[in-house]
Amino acid sequence: MRIPIQEVTPETGQAEVIGWVHEVRDLGGLTFFLIRDRTGILQVTVPKKKVSAEVLSAIKETSRESIVRVSGVVKAIDKAPGGRELVPDTFELVCRCASPLPLDVVEKVPADLDTRLDARFLDARRPRVTAVFQVRSQATKAVCDYLFSRGFLTITTPKVVAAATEGGTELFPIAYFEKEAFLNQSPQLYKQMMMGAGFEKVFEIGPIFRAEEHNTTKHLNEATSIDVEVSFADHHEVMRLLEDLVVHVYRSVQETCAGPLDALEIRELAIPEAPFDRLPYADAIGIAAKATGEPIQYGDDIGTVAEKAIGEHMGAHYFITDWPTAIKPYYAMPYEDDPSVCKAFDLMHPRMELSSGSQRVHQHDLLVHQIQSKGLSPESFAFYLTPFLYGMPPHAGWGLGAERLIMTMLGLGNIREAVLFPRDRHRLTP
């Protein structure tokens, strides 16, 4: 029976492994194969004068990245990866790999990101790339474990919708029989409706779509959002939930992903400390203006240059709070004593925004007023507004970008490295 390479030790004795040929070195009378599976790399040493004719025939046909099945005795050897090698009794070529390869899996010949993404199935065989998605898998598990342990229900909301979440033109229209439809920007409206259903605590991890024409290292047109909504909670409570979740995910990855982190040459994650600093919007634009020498008007959004300056000043995860109501979505709750400011927040990493959230408007008439103030038609949101007539509890929530969380956690240079098949301004395949 096949044994994962990570579990093969000299104590195993006889073992069978199946994997890809990572490297081949032919020294004449001795040939070394490095065989790779998801768990690690094993050296297979073939002394040509001591193996069968069948083994010799198979190794002659074997190319790099072919799949082989090898069985034999495992022995200790200091110079081999993991301090062990396998001397084969049998060597079967399961699937021969074509040559030349689109890119070098061993990484001796570097490839640019576009080349890697064009051959993503092959790029993902590289241990460093595999490691990113092992970390992402564990981070997703940690999110689910954390929220389930706190009584959350996981939900699934539509991705084909009739109305925009927040209005605007950043929508992908699609053909939906005889009707106009769009790919959803966010599960926002539906998770709020579930507050009206009495679910109280919900989360969803799923795709969101933004038809933004950005072509930067931190934007995607299809991304994964971790969305949370909580009844009978205000913005302070869901901020605490968010920061505790982020810390939990970092710690979980640190504790369970030693191998992947080692492959990424990360000795130790910079685990953030909660509580994160709360920085009011008015103070944030003041810091940016001082750092850049460029005045920022109150009510302007915070651009990339200002965001970078504020991040350098803060130096760690932080929240920007108390945003002008005019530049936040209609569902953000204004302060009672100053409606020009709302109970919205953004979670920031020093490099970029990770999450946005707020306490929501739960009063029907105020919500209608807010929608109208944004130049939108309440009639377009009738399906959303109706639940607010029938006992909508106070509630708050947020959406956290999964790719940005992984990108900043691992120090990746481009967000496309944190998603298997990115969709951006120019990439629609593979």
Q: What is the pLDDT of residues 84-130, one digit of tens each?
A: 999 999 999 999 999 999 999 998 888 999 999 999 999 999 999 99
Whole-structure pTM value:
0.94
Percent of the chain whose pLDDT exceeds 70: 99
Gyration radius (Cα) of the chain, Å = 27
User: pLDDT > 90: what percent of the chain?
Assistant: 92
- Comparing CA positions, the residue from 33, 336, 397, 380 lying closest to residue 187 is 397
State the average pLDDT over residues 176-180: 92
Check pLDDT > 90 for residue 138: yes
Nearest of 319, 309, 290 to residue 351 by alpha carbon: 309
Secondary structure (H, E, C), 35-80: EEECCEEEEEEEECCCCCHHHHHHHHHCCCCCEEEEEEEEEECCCC
d(CA 210, CA 221): 5
Instruction: Please check whether residue 206 is in contact with residue 402, taking contact to mean a CB–CB distance below 8 angstroms.
Output: no
Residue 170 has a pLDDT of 83
Query: Residue 32 — φ and ψ, nearest 5°?
Result: -110, 130
Residue 168's pLDDT is what? 59
13-22, 158-167, 203-212, 263-272: which range is least confident on average? 158-167
Biggest CA pair distance of the chain:
88
Q: Are 405 and 139 in contact (CB under 8 A)?
A: yes
Q: Which long-range contacts (CB under 8 A, 24 or more apart) does 130-134 make?
A: 130/38, 130/260, 130/263, 131/257, 131/259, 131/260, 131/261, 131/263, 131/264, 132/260, 132/264, 132/406, 132/410, 132/412, 132/417, 132/418, 133/420, 134/257, 134/259, 134/260
Packing angle between helix 304-314 and helix 281-292, nearest 10 degrees? 100
Rounded (5°) CA angle 64-70-74: 115
Q: Is the pLDDT of residue 167 over 90?
A: no
> Looking at the predicted structure, is the pLDDT value of residue 410 above 80?
yes
Given a cut of 80, is residue 166 above it in pLDDT?
no
Which residues are within 8 A (CB) of 310 and not within 5 positions of it... i.e. 6 or more apart? 279, 284, 287, 288, 291, 302, 320, 348
Convert the pLDDT of each residue in 215-258 to its tens digit. Answer: 899 999 999 999 999 999 999 999 999 999 999 999 999 999 99
The whole-angstrom separation of Cα 380 and Cα 32 is 67
The more confidently predicted of residues 149 and 108 is 149
Q: According to the model, what pLDDT value does residue 12 have?
A: 85
Q: Please name each of the domains of the chain with its CATH number.
A: 5-95 (2.40.50.140), 122-276+316-418 (3.30.930.10)
Taking residues 342-363, report their average pLDDT.
98
Compare 163 and 190 and report the one with higher pLDDT. 190
Q: In the predicted model, is pLDDT for residue 312 greater than 80?
A: yes
Q: With bands split at pLDDT 50, 70 and 90, how would you rate the model's confidence at 201? A: very high
Quote the pLDDT of residue 91. Answer: 97
pLDDT for 169: 59
Is residue 382 within 8 Å of 352, Cβ to Cβ?
no
User: Cα angle vertex 261, ends 35, 398, to 5°?
Assistant: 130
Taking alpha carbons only, the member of 392, 373, 375, 401 closest to residue 189 is 392
Query: In this structure, how many other beta carbons lie within 10 angstroms of the beta carbon of residue 249?
Result: 26
DSSP assignment string, 321-366: ES-BGGGS-TTBPBPSS-TTBBSEEEEEETTEEEEEEEEBP--HHH
Scanning the structure block, which residue is given the tokens 């302007």? 300
State the residue for tokens 């920022």.
296
The answer to whether 172 touches 222, Cβ cutoff 8 Å, is no
Average pLDDT over residues 166-191: 88
Closest to 417 measured CA to CA, from 426, 404, 430? 404
Q: What does the alpha-carbon distance between residue 15 and residue 2 come to, in Å, rounded to a whole number?
A: 7
pLDDT of amino acid 229: 98
Q: In this model, does residue 355 exceed pLDDT 90?
A: yes
Tokens of 101: 């390869």
